[in-house]
Structure 1
Amino acid sequence: MPTRRKRTAKLIGRLLTKDQFDTGASHKRRKVSTKKSVTKKATKAAKRSASAKKTSKATKKRDTKARSKASASKKVTKGNYKLAQLKKMTTVVADTGDFNLIKKYKPTDATTNPSLLLAASKMAEYDSLIDEAIRSELKNKKVTDTVISDICDKLAVIFGTKILDIVPGYVSTEVDARLSFDTKATVAKARKIIKLYKAAGVKKDRILIKIASTWEGIQAARILQKEGISCNLTLLFNFFQALACAQANVTLISPFVGRILDWYKKSTGKEYKPEEEPGVLSVTRIYNYYKKYGHKTFVMGASFRNSGEIINLAGCDRLTISPALLEELETSKGKIQKKLDSTKSKKECKDPKMGNERRCNGHCKALCRN
C-alpha cells in the first residue's frame, strides 16, 4: 500500500507542476479549475487507494485459504499411499541394515540378521565400521574361529547402535543360528551381546535378542526374559511354536509368511491369492489366539514375498518389511483396510485355550507346559 500512496502523490505532484507553466489571464481561471481538478483527482485516487487496500486484504485472505486447501490436499494425497495408511494401523519395521534406507522409510524399529549385515558390509561406505570391529576384537590375537565370532558380534552391535540413532524403537540383533539347539550357549551369547551394547552406551530396553524358535531357543528366551532381556523369537513356522513362545512370556515373535508359502507351493504346485496364502492364515490365527486369551507377546509378521501379504495382515502388532516392498508400498496408492483387529479376535479365533489343562493329544506335550 505505501507504493500506491507514492504513486498517487507523484500524480498530484505532476498535475501541480503542469499548472505552474500557465500565464496571463487564463492562469487565474485555470488556477481555480486546476485546484478543483486536482482535488477531485486526489479524492478519486484516495478512493482507489482505499478500494485497493480492501481488495488486497481480500486477496490475502483468499490466498491463505487457497494455501490451506493445497496443504490439506497434499496431506490427503500423501495419506492415500499404502505405506502411510499401514503406519496408522501397524508398527512398521525395516528389515535391513542399510542406514540410508532406514532413514528414507522412517520405520519405528529395525531388524537385522547376518545376511542383511553381510549385504550392508559389502558397501564401501561401511568399511570404517568393519575396520572398527576388527581393531576392537583382533588386537594382538591370532585369527581363530572364536576371534572371528567375536568380530561378528561386535560388528552386529556397531550396526545396531548406529541404527538406534535413526529409529525411535527397537533393533533386533541375532544370536548365532548355530547355537539354535543349545540353550546354555544361546543364553551366554545373548548376555554377551547385551554387554557389548551396554559398553556402547545402549540400554537393554531398546534391544531385542533374536533367537530361533526351537525348543532349546524358547527355553533360552524364557531365562533371558526373567533377566529383563527382551527376545524376538524367529524362524517360527507354526501355531504350536507360537503357543510355546507365548507361554515363555517372550516379548515378540516373528512368524514367517513367505517361507510357509514357499513350502506349500513346492509341495502342492498350487498358486495362492494373498488373502488365502497359508502364511497369511497362520499369522492371522496366531494373532487372534494371542489377543483372545490375553497373551502379551507381540506378533510381528516377517519374510514377505509380495505386498499383498502385507496388506492382508494390516493391523498386526508389527510387520517387518524389506526395502523393496517398503518402496512399493510408499509409491503405490489404494485403500487399505484393517484386517487384524484385537477387538474382533474373540469372535475370529476358533481355537480352544491350550495350556496345562490341554496337551493336544500328546503331540505337543513339551510345548504346552508352563
Structure 2
Amino acid sequence: MKFFVDTADTSEIKELAEAGLIDGVTTNPSLVAKSGRKFSDVIAEICELTPGHVSAEVVATEYDAMVNEGRTLQKIAPNVAVKLPLTMDGLKACRTLTNEGTAVNVTLCFSANQALLAAKAGATYISPFIGRLDDLNIDGMELIEDIRTIYDNYMFETQILAASIRNANHVKDSALAGADVATVPPSVLRGLINHPLTDKGLAAFLADAEKAGISV
C-alpha cells in the first residue's frame, strides 16, 4: 500500500519525503489556507518535494468552471492530480480531464455505487472517507472492502485512496481491505512507528552496550 500525507505543511512533507515514507500528498483548500500563502505557490512547492501525485482541489461546482480550474492546476506541475467532488458535474469533469491525460482524484465518496461511477468516469483515484462514515456509526472499512470487490470484478484501474483516516487501526484495516493508497495526517503517520516494546527493547540494548563498553 502506498502512503500519501494529508497536509499542506511543506516542512512536514519535506521531512517525511526525505525519510522515504510517502509516495504522494493530498491537500484541500482548508489545509492550504492554514499556510497563509498563495494557493498555487504552495502546490508548486509541494510538487517539488515529491515525485508522486499531489492532489489539488478545485473550488468550482459547475462543469465548465471545474474543467477550467483543473487545467489551471495541472499547469502548475506534471504531478498534480486534480481533485474533484463526487457530483454529476464532477464526474463529467473527471471524464474530460482524464481524456486530456490529467490525473484525477474523485473525493467525498461515501458509497460503493459512487465509487463505481467514478471508475466508469475514468478516475485515477477514488477517495472514500472512512472516518466520516464511522462518525455516523457506519462501518467505513466495509466500504473499502465493497469497492475493492467491485473494482476487482471488472478490472477497473482506479486506485482506492482511503481518506479521512483518524488512527493507526484505520491504516492497518485499510491495508487488509485492499486499499491501494492511504492518505494520513502527519501525526498518524509518525505514530505508526511507535510501539512500547520497541522503546523497551532499544533501552535494554543501549544499557547492555554501555555496561559492556561497546562503541562503534
Deviation sequence 1:204-251 (CA, Å, 0-9, x none): xx1100000112111111111111111100011111110000111111
* Unmatched runs of 5 consecutive residues or more in structure 2: 198-216
What is the match of residue 325 of structure 1?
188
What is the match of residue 93 of structure 2?
220
Q: 2:16 aligns with which of 105, 111, 127?
A: 105
Q: 2:141 aligns with which of 280, 287, 293?
A: 280
Q: Does 1:191 align with 2:103?
A: no
What is the match of residue 165 of structure 1?
48
Secondary structure class of the residue paired with 1:300? strand
Secondary structure class of the residue paired with 1:304? coil
| Larger Rg over CA atoms | 1
What is the match of residue 200 of structure 2?
none
Distance 1:332 1:99, change over 3 A: farther
Structure with the largest fraction of helix: 1
- On the 8 A contact 1:242/1:253 being kept in 2, the answer is yes
What is the aligned residue count? 191
* Unmatched runs of 5 consecutive residues or more in structure 1: 1-89, 122-129, 131-154, 265-276, 335-370
Deviation at 1:333, TM superposition (A): 6.8
- Give the distance between the partners of 2:196 and 2:128, measured in 1 at CA: 27
- Give the distance between the partners of 2:40 and 2:63, measured in 1 at CA: 22
Secondary structure class of the residue paired with 1:120? coil
Q: 2:160 aligns with which of 290, 295, 299?
A: 299
Secondary structure class of the residue paired with 2:193? helix
Secondary structure class of the residue paired with 1:313? helix
Q: Does 1:316 align with 2:179?
A: yes
Secondary structure class of the residue paired with 2:55? strand
Structure with the largest fraction of strand: 2
**Alignment map for 1:13-52 (pairs within 5 Å):** none
Q: Runs in 1 of length 4+ with deviation above 6 angstroms?
A: none
Deviation at 1:192, TM superposition (A): 2.1
- Give the distance between the partners of 1:170 and 1:249, measured in 2 at CA: 16
- Give the distance between the partners of 2:154 and 2:196, measured in 1 at CA: 36
**Alignment map for 1:1-370 (pairs within 5 Å):** 90-106=1-17, 107-121=22-36, 130=37, 155-176=38-59, 179-180=60-61, 182-195=62-75, 197=76, 202-203=77-78, 206-264=79-137, 278-314=139-175, 315-332=178-195
Distance 1:165 1:296, change over 3 A: same
- On the 8 A contact 2:133/2:139 being kept in 1, the answer is yes
- Give the distance between the partners of 1:333 and 1:223, measured in 2 at CA: 50
Secondary structure class of the residue paired with 2:136? helix
- On the 8 A contact 1:253/1:300 being kept in 2, the answer is yes
- On the 8 A contact 1:254/1:301 being kept in 2, the answer is yes
- On the 8 A contact 1:173/1:210 being kept in 2, the answer is yes
Deviation sequence 1:106-125 (CA, Å, 0-9, x none): 3110011111112233xxxx
Deviation at 1:191, TM superposition (A): 1.5
- On the 8 A contact 2:58/2:70 being kept in 1, the answer is yes
* Cα RMSD after superposing both structures: 1.6
Deviation at 1:328, TM superposition (A): 1.1
